[in-house]
Every structure is written in structure tokens, then in C-alpha cells.
Amino acid sequence: MSLYRLQGELLMNSGPRVGTRWTASALERWTPESKAHAEEQLKELAGLQSITTSSWAQARFVTVEEVATTLAIVQNLRDRLWPEFRSRAIWIENGEYGQVRTLQDIDRMLTLFPQIAELQTLYRSEVYALDLQEMASALEPARRGVFSAFVHRLTDTRFKDALKTLAQYRIAGAVQPDDVERLVDQQAQWLERGSQGIPRVPDDHQVHLALWAEVRDALNHLTRLGLPIWDHDWHGWESMLHALADDRVTPHRMVRAHQLREALQGANMGPLLDELENRQIPAEEWRQAFRYAVYSSAVDHILSGDPELGAFTRENHERVIEEFRSDDQDRLHIARLRVSRHHASAAITMLNAFGQEEQLVRQESQKKSRHLSLRKFLQRAPHALLALRPCWVGSPLSVSQLLPAQTLFDLVLFDEGSQVLPEDAIAAIARGKQTVIAGDNHQLPPTPFFASTPEDIEDDEALPFEGYESVLDLMSGMTSPWWLRWHYRSRDERLIAFSNHHIYGNSLITFPGRGHDRPVRHVLVPQTAGTDQDAQSVAAEAERVVQLILSHAKERPQDSLGVITMGIKHAERIQMALDAALRSHSDLADFF
């Protein structure tokens, strides 16, 4: 494929501009057959991306045996284990033993049950009504060793009273100093889960534990596959479980996706796959992304090794451009002459056909006062006026107020349709046979901002930036739009590059600029901590802007300058700082 063809393919490729490139040696290892095979595998893998919307999406299957085992576990979990556990553990629903939000909460509660049951064989449940924190504090010396406990039994009344009190609630055996720590810990866990009353367990908690052990094994199996199970809301978990059990196809597709991924990795397409997934490029654009990467890599290889391209000279290229520019200007001049001649011929024909209207036009043109209103003038001489002036420019409000309510024009064209309200546009639309609405719904929508005066706005936070529906939005839902892809306004491609990439998806055809100056430059203003905390206007930024303004006035006085701020307060602060600075720069007064 020629360089011209490659560059043409790149220009026509509407897919994502990926950054993956292959070396010349990697490209040479690809035969047309292997490249086509890799592209087909990528296409098949893209067709399997519906697995990303399944409840199985985060799982990873490698073999069909793994799929069979997992499906059996999930079916058993849905049909037997979970229903049986839920039917017994009604405390999950009624909150009798604390609030349960996730499966992890259930596991923690069931882990706590045997601990509570063990202590309930040693102490009466009324022990939890004591001030256990105070008890723990009183018995703290026992944690230092046997000798410390012995000494405090003899000398510490508080220590002895605490032991005596605990002994009253002891069912069997002597009080152990660490018992109170366990009681405190259990009570804290109990209260932490929002449980009411004293810690307790269901009478059949052993059955719950046995069932939960089977459930836990199944959940751990799913977790090892990559599914985020334990932090799942348990209400939503039941829906997820049914979705997993009902979807018996996706796991098999995931095995095939794994096989395709391994094959593509072996074909040196791993970097491209990583980029496609990391950038979350839609699956339907994967083939275009692959072709873009291949063609771009080939262009890089050709440009680096072709002597003909290396002999390219700017002078010859500039000469051709200049010749074209001159011919293009001549063509535009000739086109203007042709349009003027056609207009004059059509106007003369129309004036000859409507003599009375021509006479009225001549009379009105000779008057110095008391002219007919435009509305009446058009009503009495529509053919003559429209022949003389076939193109009219006016705001929607002017059209409604000045022109008669009748179809006058072959075509009504709205510019900046994204900023026109439908109710303002109706009157103009009614006066034409056809309507074209040009605009960009990514730009500023209609807002009441320009209807406000500075006196109406107390601060920047009160600015009415929320927009309304425009006539462009309205018509976009009624007919198919036609996109203009050639970007002709920015003299430097870098001015539109950000918007082209982030807003228009690289769909605009742009041209590099000839200038050497940077069209956009970021100036960082360091901030001093603890000073000037006004979020709407920072003094250091205002001072830096004034310095840049004065520098421009000194170095480039022939170029006009506009300063745009993101808020009224900041604009006022800059203006005040500029006024103060100009008192000592009288030599720059002419610029301002």
C-alpha cells in the first residue's frame, strides 16, 4: 500500500486515534493472511464484549471444566443452600441480632455467635447489664501476671469488689481475669452492629453455622474467580445470584474470549488490547482502531526509510501553495462577478415585470422623511424589494417585528442555532419555504445571562448559567443533522485540538498552523498559604494578569488585547489593579 493510500486511509478512518505502534520488524513478520486472521480474531473478541454487561463480567474463566464446576456450585447455592439458610436465619430480615447490610456482615455475626454462646455457658446473661468497662479497668492489674493479681487481691478493694461482683454471675468455675475483656469485646461488637438488648444467639445457631459453612465455601469459590461478593448488599445479592444462575452462556463465552486474548497476545497485539480496554473504547470501534495503528506504524516506517520523502523541499511545496492561493483568489473574484451579474439580470427582469413596485421603490428611495414602514413597504412591493435585496440579515426578534407575516424567502438560515430559543425562531421559520439551522449543541445554550445587568448580579455564584433548549436541539430530534467536518476557523490546529479530541471525538478535519508562536500558554501563579482565601478572586493572579497586560502593551502595541475572566469579582479586581499600575506608566496611555 502506497504512502498516499496509507495517509488517505488514516484521514478517512473515523475510529479512535490509538497510540499503539509496531516496529518495522514486527510489521514485516505479518503476512496478509496473518494480519487478516488477527483482525478476524479481534473482531470476534469485540463481538464477545457483551460479556461485560453480564453479572459474570468480573469473573475470569480459563477452562470449560472450571465453568462446569462453577455453574454447578451456583445452581446448588441458588436452589438449596441459600433458600434453606434464609428460611432459618429470619433474623437477617427482622434485625433481631443487629443490622445486616452485606454478606460480610452476616459472616461476622455468625462468627460472633459461638463466642457469645461459649460465655453464656459461663455467665448468666444479666452480666452484660454491668458496667463492664469499669470492671475491665478494675481487673486490669491481673493482666500483668499472677503476682500482680495476687497482690491486688490482698490490697486493692476495687479489684476484690470487681471479682466478687463477677462471681455472682458466674455459672460454673472461678472467674478468669480475661473473661471481662471478652465480655467487653462481645458487647462492643454487638452494639456496633446496631443490635438491641444484651448479646444473645438463636437456639439453633449451630444449624445456622453448619449451613453457612457451605454457603461460605460457595461464596469463596466465586470470590476466587474475581466476583466482588462479600461487600455486596445482601438484598441485591439474591438478585445477583439468580442472574448468575440464569446466565449459563456467558461463562462459556468468557472461555472463548480468554482463548482469543491469548492468541492475540501471541500475535504481538497485547499493547493494542491493553489500550482498547484502558481507554474503554467501544467494541464496535476495535477494528478501526487496529487499522489505524497498523497504517500509522506503516507510515512511520516509510517516512523513516524512503529517500524520496527525505528529499522533500519546503521551497517547492511553498511555490505550489502560493500558485494555488493565487488561482483560488482569482476564482473567488470571478465567482463574485458571476453572482453580481446573475443578481443584476434577475433584478432587472423582476422590476420590468412589476413596474408599479419599481415605481414605489424609486419614490421611497428619493424621500428624505416619512418613509413607509418596512412591513408596509414589503407588503406593497415584495417582488421588487426581494429582487433588489435577495439576502436579508436580522435577528429573530427583528424579523417578527419588521417583516409581514407571510412566506417571503426561499430559505431561512439560522446561524448559531444553539443560542436561539424555539419561541424566538418560529416567526422567522414561518417566513421561509425551507429552513437551515447551523450550530453546535456543544456550545453555549440559550441563557438569560445577557439579559442581566451588573446591578442584577450580586456575586459570581448567582450568575444564571443554566441553559434552555435551543431551536437546534428541537430540530435535531425531528430530522437528521448534517455534520461539517472541515474546521476552517482556527489558524493554528492547536487551538482546536483539545476540543476536537475531548468533545468531537477527533471527527474534525484540521490543518496544522504555519505560525511559530504558541497559540495557548499556561502561566502558573504560585499561591501563598494562609493569604487571600477568596475563591472567586486571587490577588496574586490579578497582579500577574496586569503584568502580562503591561508587557503586551510595551512589546506589541500594534495588536489589540482582550482579557477574559471567569467571574465579575475577578474582572473588577484586575481593572482596579490595572488602573493603579497605569498611574506610573503614563507612556502606555495611548494603548489603553
Q: Amino acid identity, residue 122?
A: L
Residue 439 has which C-alpha cell?
Answer: 450550530
The pTM of the whole model exceeds 0.75: no
- Identify the pLDDT of residue 76: 94
DSSP 208: H
Q: Amino acid identity, residue 86?
A: R
Residue 466 has which C-alpha cell?
Answer: 443554566
434-467: per-residue pLDDT in tens? 999 999 888 877 766 555 555 555 555 555 545 5
DSSP 123: B
- Identify the pLDDT of residue 460: 52
Q: Amino acid identity, residue 419?
A: Q
Question: By the 8 A CB rule, do 538 and 527 touch?
Answer: yes
pLDDT band (50, 70, 90) for residue 530 = low
Of 19-33, 334-348, 417-431, which gets the smallest average pLDDT? 19-33
What residue segments make up the domains of the chain, in order of their start? 3-54+250-311, 98-201, 539-588
Residue 70 has which C-alpha cell?
Answer: 462453577
Provide CB contacts within 8 A for 466, sequence distance 6+.
447
Rounded to an integer, the average pLDDT of 470-486 is 86
Please give the mean pLDDT across all residues of the chain.
84
pLDDT band (50, 70, 90) for residue 162 = confident
The Cβ-side half-sphere exposure at 513, using a 13 Å CA radius, reads 15
- Identify the pLDDT of residue 345: 94
List the Cα angle 207/211/216 in 5-degree steps.
Answer: 140
Taking the mean position of all CA atoms in its chain, how far away is CA 298?
33
pLDDT band (50, 70, 90) for residue 516 = low
Q: Is the pLDDT of residue 341 over 90?
A: yes
1-58: per-residue pLDDT in tens? 777 788 788 888 888 899 999 988 888 888 888 888 988 998 988 888 888 889 998 8
- Identify the pLDDT of residue 248: 93
Give me the numbers of helices (H) and strands (E) for the chain, helices first please.
27, 2
The C-alpha atoms of residue 45 and residue 267 are separated, in whole angstroms, by 14
Rounded to an integer, the average pLDDT of 240-263 is 92
- Identify the pLDDT of residue 451: 55
46-104: per-residue pLDDT in tens? 888 888 889 998 899 999 999 999 999 999 999 999 999 888 877 777 666 667 788 88
385-403: per-residue pLDDT in tens? 999 999 999 998 889 888 8
Rounded to an integer, the average pLDDT of 146-152 is 69
The C-alpha atoms of residue 67 and residue 249 are separated, in whole angstroms, by 10
Residue 71 has which C-alpha cell?
Answer: 455453574
Question: By the 8 A CB rule, do 305 and 72 touch?
Answer: no
Rounded to an integer, the average pLDDT of 208-235 is 89
Rounded to an integer, the average pLDDT of 550-579 is 91
pLDDT above 70: percentage of residues in the chain: 89
Who wins on pLDDT, 268 or 129?
268
pLDDT band (50, 70, 90) for residue 336 = very high
Phi, psi torsion values for 530, nearest 5 degrees = 85, 0
- Classified as helix, coil or strand, 435 is strand
The C-alpha atoms of residue 227 and residue 221 are separated, in whole angstroms, by 9
- Identify the pLDDT of residue 198: 74
- Identify the pLDDT of residue 536: 63
Q: Is the pLDDT of residue 514 over 70?
A: no
The C-alpha atoms of residue 411 and residue 432 are separated, in whole angstroms, by 5
- Identify the pLDDT of residue 547: 94
Q: Measured in Å, how far apart are the chain's first and last C-alpha atoms?
A: 59
Taking the mean position of all CA atoms in its chain, how far away is CA 539?
32
Who wins on pLDDT, 362 or 114?
362
Is 494 buried (19+), middle (13-18) or exposed (0-12) by CB count in 10 A? middle
Q: Amino acid identity, residue 237?
A: W
- Classified as helix, coil or strand, 560 is coil
Q: Is the pLDDT of residue 531 over 70?
A: no
- Identify the pLDDT of residue 66: 93
- Identify the pLDDT of residue 160: 78
- Identify the pLDDT of residue 255: 93
